[in-house]
Amino acid sequence: MKKIRISSITAVFSSALLLGSGGSVAQDSDGAIRFGDNSDPAVYVSVTFVSYKQGKAGEAYGIIADHFRPAAEAAGLRRPVIVHFQTGPYDVAFHWRLENGMSDVEWQRSPDDVKFMAALAAQEGSEEAANAVFDRYNALIARSVTSVGHRHLAEGEE
């Protein structure tokens, strides 16, 4: 069983992973294409798909609502877009816009993760208690996978 990393969970509520980068596609002089200023706007995104153990999704959503969401709000972080599935192998997907592009996924523990963990520890009474909440949540996960990509913005979308 693969456990979801703490940074993946904290990213659920991380504003750095929600606000989006404002880049678009541009071509370098050597013909390579990168995000820049001369084409359709696009943002990098991170999407984590989670499948909970049989009958454990409700408990997981309760931990998110009762523990993770209030800590994220106390830390001043925004929520991801959450998609609950009726079909397919996963129960839920958490979609975050990467404010600083691919550099947002280079952190083992980002500045927003640190803010979130501090708020969760304050809320739960200690760092150990905050880690226990993560342990409870992780124990409910059957599998998870995170993919990073980009999406093009519709006209007027930020």
Q: Is residue 50 part of a domain?
A: yes
Per-residue pLDDT at 25: 45
Per-residue pLDDT at 42: 82
> Lowest-confidence range among 6-15, 40-49, 140-149?
6-15
| DSSP strand pairing (33-36 vs 24-27) | antiparallel
Tell me the average pLDDT across 97-103: 84
Percent of the chain at pLDDT exceeding 90: 53
Domain count, the chain: 1
Q: Is residue 28 part of a domain?
A: yes
Q: Is residue 122 part of a domain?
A: yes
Task: Give the global pTM.
Answer: 0.73
Per-residue pLDDT at 68: 96
Q: Is residue 158 part of a domain?
A: no
Q: Is residue 108 part of a domain?
A: yes
Domain that includes residue 26, residue range:
6-152
Per-residue pLDDT at 29: 54
Q: Is residue 60 part of a domain?
A: yes
Tell me the average pLDDT across 26-52: 71
SS3 112: helix
Per-residue pLDDT at 35: 55
* Of the candidates 10, 13, 45, 8, the residue with the CA atom closest to the CA atom of residue 144: 8
Dihedral of the CA atoms 95, 101, 106, 108 (nearest 10)?
Answer: -40
| CATH for 38 | 3.30.70.100
> Lowest-confidence range among 6-20, 77-91, 99-113?
6-20
Specify the higher pLDDT residue, 46 or 2.
46
Q: Is residue 1 part of a domain?
A: no
Q: Is residue 42 part of a domain?
A: yes
Maximum separation of any 2 CA atoms in the chain, in Å = 55
